[in-house]
Chains A and B, each alone.
Chain A
């Protein structure tokens, strides 16, 4: 029995949350609470750094596995392990959570202890999703994520938070209960919840199609794909900045991760069968939501719609079912995780100072906040997909891989890139340039803390853009196994 690093990763935040909840809140100041939360999550980040260091890239299959029987009678096991596909996402999670806590240091004043506790629980549930190799515990963590997110949006959200958080919860739950039925059916057929065993099993073709649709319902809501995306703008607009960051940064990736980890290896026939449908939905998502984003007045809503468009690239890439396509989609996932998180933080910075998210309320911010504009530019360009930033690599690979499938697809994705550039540049221009409004003059530039986390994110964006091999080395082997 080796060192149980994965269980430790899941348990550390939970234990931290328990300790915090047992401490009396009257004696603790908000700052102390946030600091202890930061210590825990930073420790978690350092712990997760061990994963890529000790991960053996030359081997197939899962590593650092741990196996405990949970329900003897029903053959449900606590079986965790990681491979190249999960490690970068775990790192992304542990990297973003401390930033979320840092950015709420000033904005969350009331009930700070609860806030930190929910974030810690959220972190451990998300990591749980990425490390589980058993369908049941995958589902358990996948669902459990909803609870802290529901509370975070509901307690610290904006005016219309109740509507948004209910919509978020019920939409996601409705999708995932169908997946639950499919999971139960699969387990009753295969007699095991082990993901590796199920991948080797072949289902009846008709049944496989139905099972695929059940999984699709859950993941498509999470990603979100075109007709199921309406919860996302609401949730983003109403969530506090930190909630948006974790939502865009990590939670949306759960769906895409599910496609790569479960749908493709389980349902090979159905994946090919439904390829056209997914391409069609993703193309609509890319073009339609980009156009919608162009007309938004609210910054957060604009970035939320841009998320839907970017995730459209991801689903297209995954379902090209080629190595390049999935690599590109995966890269786009990580890059979008960093960049959209950063963009939401960017919105959060001005919102905290000026208390409005309407684009037309801002102009000429560059004059008073030069550092802010600088970071904004980096992330904006990365979101557009400028070479040298992380956004470029993913989009490029996805577009390249679509040529082998259909030229029309290439056309639509390329249109999406152009539209993406137009609304992001428009947003940047309207906020940063133009006349300096009188009420903008008082806005203070970035604080040291803000500069710190923005530079971390910017560094990561540049690093991935200039040296993408870092990520590809990690994921290549695992992804090649999940392709048919």
Chain B
């Protein structure tokens, strides 16, 4: 007997998909706005009854809380995303309801991925998510670079899925089970299998040296899709990576632990090294996200000290900041199309107060300079890692954040010090404006008064 109770959030999304499919044929505007409402309901549902869905399982309370919290965050992110997407899609003549379907499928995949306890289920979730992402990358079919991004993403993603399957089958060969669980005595085959699984997950979260697709896909895809890649699916994959790390106790397996530390260090360095010379803002953000993944991997490794709290604090702040930055970027257009280069930001200070000041807040927050919440995000990760004894990695992390400060400052320099060369058109997208202004405020307020966020995370993990 399958316990359907466990799947209520997923079933809810599935029904939303069906409704959108039918309804979208007649009125795409309504179908899309219906989803906002749907996810809002889902949020409330998860907030109130989230823990009951999983109470029939024998999972520890911490894991259940992890499911609920990540699903709530995903739903909120989806609401914001759906609210934001209308204007940018219309600008490119891409406003079709199918786009929302892809998002829904991707989120459904993320939901499955987060709460899977079995490698095969995880694979299904991951594939569902990734396939929708490939489509979103190539959604602008008339644009060559968008097609290129889609195909690149697809071929490399398929390769990494192959790794994942191969790894899973090796584990199955060794243990006779698909369950994600800690094994008493690991044989070499399981270790290799697990390392393949990890490689595939590193690919999904774009940790270096498995990051090659990131800058190209970020650059080629429509900006609104880039925003999606950079936030929600990455968040879900990272949570799954965290669960794998915890459930299998990777910190006890020397070789895998070594891989983890190497990937963390390489991501920190490659991220900053790649970003310094970038001229296109989306490529720069791609490399900077690799650097942040390095920080997050550090947080995953040092979970023993402060458990999930630090990781979630960092993730939430990072999500809010990324949403804010992209909301600003989506609001800007040049006369001859989408805005791409960093130098096109020149003189933004003189044209728009709210945009330039929000960007200032976001980039200083990403650089980890107080008084913005990004500082505490980094501070907590670093204190966790120092307490767990990763001193060398922490030194790499802080030094990389100094280099990172350089390119964030370059962007701020362009906005505040330089004179504008080309005219930037303001999209005057009210929703976008609300999103970036409120993100900026949240980033500042969380620094001064972080209790709500900390309590939220705390209560869920007690």
Contacts and interface: CB of A to CB of B under 8 A. Distances in A.
Contact of A184 (B375, B383, B458): B383
B394 interface: yes
Interface stretch (A145-153, A280-288, A408-416, A433-441): A145-153
A150 B379 contact: no
A449 interface: no
A74 B386 CA distance: 14
B413 A144 contact: no
Contacts of B401: 177
Contact of B413 (A71, A139, A154): A154
Contacts of B406: 166, 170
Contacts of B371: 140, 144
A398 to B, nearest CB: 34
A74 B454 CA distance: 10
B416 A187 contact: no
B450 interface: yes
A177 B383 contact: no
Interface string B373-390: 001100110110011000
B262 interface: no
B413 A162 contact: yes
B10 to A, nearest CB: 33
A40 B454 CA distance: 35
Interface string A175-195: 001101100110110000000
A184 B379 contact: yes
Given A143-B375, A181-B394, A161 B417 contact: yes
Contacts of A184: 379, 382-383, 386, 394
Nearest to A70: B450
Given A140-B371, A150-B409, A154-B417, A174 B402 contact: yes
B302 to A, nearest CB: 12
B369 interface: yes
Interface string A70-82: 1111100000000
A221 to B, nearest CB: 12
A73 B386 contact: no
Interface in B291-312: 306, 309
B370 A71 contact: no
Nearest to A187: B383
Contact of A181 (B364, B386, B417): B386
Given A71-B454, A73-B458, A180 B382 contact: yes
Interface in A174-221: 174, 177-178, 180-181, 184-185, 187-188
Given A71-B450, A147-B369, A169-B409, A185 B386 contact: yes
A162 B417 contact: yes
B301 to A, nearest CB: 16
A188 B383 contact: yes
Contacts of B413: 154, 162, 166
B405 interface: yes
B399 interface: yes
Contacts of A177: 398-399, 401-402
A155 interface: yes
B395 interface: yes
Contacts of B386: 181, 184-185, 188
Contact of B416 (A74, A155, A185): A155
Query: Max chain A CB contacts within 10 Å: which of B371, B382, B451?
Result: B371
Given A177-B398, A181-B394, A154 B369 contact: no
Contacts of A170: 402, 405-406, 409
B364 A147 contact: yes
B191 to A, nearest CB: 32
User: In terms of DSSP, what is the predominant structure of the interface of chain A?
Assistant: helix
User: In terms of DSSP, what is the predominant structure of the interface of chain B?
Assistant: helix
A140 B387 contact: no
A449 B387 CA distance: 56
A460 interface: no
A469 to B, nearest CB: 38
A305 to B, nearest CB: 26
Nearest to A141: B370
Contacts of B458: 73
A173 interface: yes
A178 B370 contact: no
B379 A144 contact: no
Nearest to B394: A181
Contacts of A70: 450
Contacts of B382: 180-181, 184
A143 B369 contact: yes
A166 B409 contact: yes
B458 to A, nearest CB: 7
A177 B402 CA distance: 8
A169 B405 contact: yes
A187 B386 CA distance: 10
A155 B417 contact: yes
A28 to B, nearest CB: 15
A74 B417 contact: no
Contacts of B416: 151, 154-155
Contacts of A74: 380, 383
Contacts of B450: 70-71
Contacts of A185: 386
Interface string B219-245: 000000000000000000000000000
Query: Max chain B CB contacts within 10 Å: which of A136, A154, A178, A180?
Result: A180
A441 to B, nearest CB: 36
Interface string B131-152: 0000000000000000000000
Contacts of B391: 181
Contact of B398 (A143, A150, A178): A178
26 contacts: A70-B450, A71-B376, A71-B450, A72-B451, A72-B454, A73-B458, A74-B383, A139-B370, A140-B371, A141-B370, A143-B369, A143-B370, A144-B369, A147-B369, A154-B416, A161-B417, A166-B406, A166-B413, A170-B405, A170-B409, A173-B405, A177-B399, A180-B398, A181-B398, A184-B394, A185-B386
Given A73-B458, A169-B409, A177-B398, 13 more contacts: A72-B451, A140-B375, A144-B369, A155-B416, A161-B417, A162-B417, A166-B406, A173-B369, A177-B399, A181-B391, A184-B394, A185-B386, A188-B383
Interface of A: 70-74, 136, 139-141, 143-144, 146-147, 150-151, 154-155, 161-162, 166, 169-170, 173-174, 177-178, 180-181, 184-185, 187-188
Interface of B: 306, 309, 364, 369-371, 375-376, 379-380, 382-383, 386-387, 391, 394-395, 398-399, 401-402, 405-406, 409, 413, 416-417, 450-451, 454, 458
10 interchain residue pairs of minimum CB distance: A177-B398, A140-B370, A184-B383, A174-B402, A154-B417, A144-B370, A188-B387, A184-B386, A144-B371, A143-B370
